[in-house]
């Protein structure tokens, strides 16, 4: 039985049965991820940190070997530069010059968004040319890299799928000047994914946020916000199994009813391959009864992380949420 249907059935009960139903309904509390999902998220975060440390290992051969061991045997790596092979062989070819023709690199994770088995990383790194890289030979010439990468981990904690959005123009511009910058920008357009561009995803996230925040027009907010979702969207992180659009609508409408001034703020947006990722916080005040809690006109806060995938029409077809329990501000 779908979690949302179960919750709706429970709300019709009264008396002692209603109290029991309240306990059963806890796993589907509005926009709150269940404990096992939050634990899975923490394991993925730890795996991301471990990956960074492997790359920082000064022993290049060991670092290269251990980094490749993070990937599943049947990995699909989108956006590789050299051979177009999206499997392990393609990854070996792709990363060999990074590990052996460059030295003293430190991978710095500027932002990491994690929810469940999904992760998104914005990074930059300073390295020194110690051989031939991108057709340029040199010794001790600094090279700066930057980009964004999305990951999906399997049950064993290995990377099953990877989507890259590397700034090839930035890298090649340093090595080969204006000609390299132009060539790198062309490569990025080819390898950073079909569908929506990074700019288009960021614009879409802004539109979604604006729709959510139309507190002065509740009916328009509801209509405009849910227009961004495909009818068949899958929502991960609200229950032990994915839920459908109707359950997301039910939970959000319950929140908007109790906290009509709920305002969403989106931070640290990332994008690759028609996907977006961000941290979010929503702040409002309780104006109506909410799950047995009387309204007190005190602030209420929700926060978490989100990764979502768009189709070519800019509608959300899959979303991963990591939502912390609601925080109520109690008067002293």
200-218: per-residue pLDDT in tens?
Answer: 999 999 999 999 999 999 9
Domains of the chain: 37-191 (3.10.450.50), 198-328 (3.10.450.50)
The angle formed by the CA atoms of residues 80, 159 and 314, to the nearest 5 degrees, is 65
The pLDDT of residue 248 is above 80: yes
Q: Which residues, 6 or more positions from 37, have their beta carbon under 8 angstroms from its beta carbon?
A: 116, 236, 237, 240, 322
pLDDT in tens, 26-76: 344 578 999 999 999 999 999 999 999 999 999 999 999 999 999 999 999
Buried (b) or exposed (e) across 149-160, using 16+ Cβ within 10 A?
Answer: bbbbbeeeeebb
pLDDT confidence tier of residue 15, bands split at 50, 70 and 90: very low
- Exposed/middle/buried for residue 196 (C-beta within 10 Å: 0-12, 13-18, 19+): buried
Closest CA to 311 of 275, 278, 270, 277: 275
Residues of the chain with pLDDT > 90, as a percent, come to 77
The confidence band for 83, taking pLDDT boundaries of 50, 70 and 90, is low
* Between 152 and 191, the higher pLDDT residue: 152
Are 113 and 305 in contact by the 8 Å Cβ rule? The answer is yes
- Cα–Cα distance measured from residue 37 to residue 46, given in angstroms and rounded to the nearest whole number: 14
Query: Would you place residue 86 in the very low, low, confident or very high pLDDT band (cuts 50, 70, 90)?
Result: confident
Residue 84 pLDDT grade (very low, low, confident, very high; cuts 50, 70, 90): low
Closest CA to 245 of 256, 229, 223, 222: 229
Distance CA 180, CA 172 (A): 5
Q: Which two tokens stand for residue 134?
A: 């991108």
Would you say how long the chain is, in residues?
332
Tokens 């209420």 sit on residue: 300
Mean pLDDT, rounded, for 164-190: 92
- In this prediction, residues 265-283 reach a mean pLDDT of 97
Beta strands in the chain (DSSP E): 71-78, 102-115, 118-133, 136-153, 159-166, 229-236, 263-272, 275-285, 299-310, 316-323, 327-328
> Which of 116, 162, 180 minimizes the C-alpha distance to 272?
162
- Does residue 168 contact residue 148 with C-beta atoms inside 8 Å? no
Of 14-28, 148-162, 201-215, which gets the smallest average pLDDT?
Answer: 14-28
């Amino acid at each position: 039985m779908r979690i949302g249907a179960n919750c709706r059935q429970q709300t019709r009960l009264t008396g002692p049965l209603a109290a029991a139903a309240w306990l059963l309904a806890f796993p589907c509390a509005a926009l709150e991820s269940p404990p096992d999902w939050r634990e899975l998220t923490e394991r993925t975060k730890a795996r991301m940190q471990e990956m960074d440390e492997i790359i920082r290992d000064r022993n290049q051969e060991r670092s290269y070997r251990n980094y490749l061991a993070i990937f599943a045997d049947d990995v699909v790596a989108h956006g590789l530069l050299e051979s177009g092979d999206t499997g392990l062989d393609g990854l070996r070819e792709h990363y060999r010059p990074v590990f052996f023709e460059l030295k003293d690199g430190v991978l710095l994770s500027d932002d990491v968004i994690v929810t469940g088995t999904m992760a998104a990383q914005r990074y930059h790194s300073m390295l020194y040319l110690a051989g031939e890289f991108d057709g340029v030979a040199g010794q001790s010439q600094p090279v700066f890299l930057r980009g964004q990468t999305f990951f999906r981990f399997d049950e064993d904690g290995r990377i099953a799928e990877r989507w890259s959005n590397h700034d090839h123009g930035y890298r090649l511009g340093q090595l080969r000047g204006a000609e390299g910058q132009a060539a790198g920008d062309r490569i990025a357009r080819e390898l950073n994914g079909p569908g929506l561009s990074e700019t288009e995803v960021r614009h879409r996230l802004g539109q979604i946020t604006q729709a959510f925040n139309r507190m002065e027009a509740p009916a328009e907010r509801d209509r405009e916000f849910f227009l961004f979702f495909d009818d068949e969207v899958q929502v991960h992180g609200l229950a032990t199994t994915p839920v459908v659009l109707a359950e997301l609508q039910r939970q959000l409408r319950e929140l908007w009813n109790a906290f009509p001034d709920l305002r969403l703020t989106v931070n640290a947006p990332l994008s690759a391959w028609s996907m977006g990722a961000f941290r979010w916080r929503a702040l409002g005040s309780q104006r109506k009864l909410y799950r047995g809690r009387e309204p007190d006109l005190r602030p209420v806060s929700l926060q978490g992380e989100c990764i979502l995938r768009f189709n070519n029409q800019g509608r959300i077809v899959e979303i991963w949420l990591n939502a912390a329990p609601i925080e109520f501000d109690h008067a002293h």
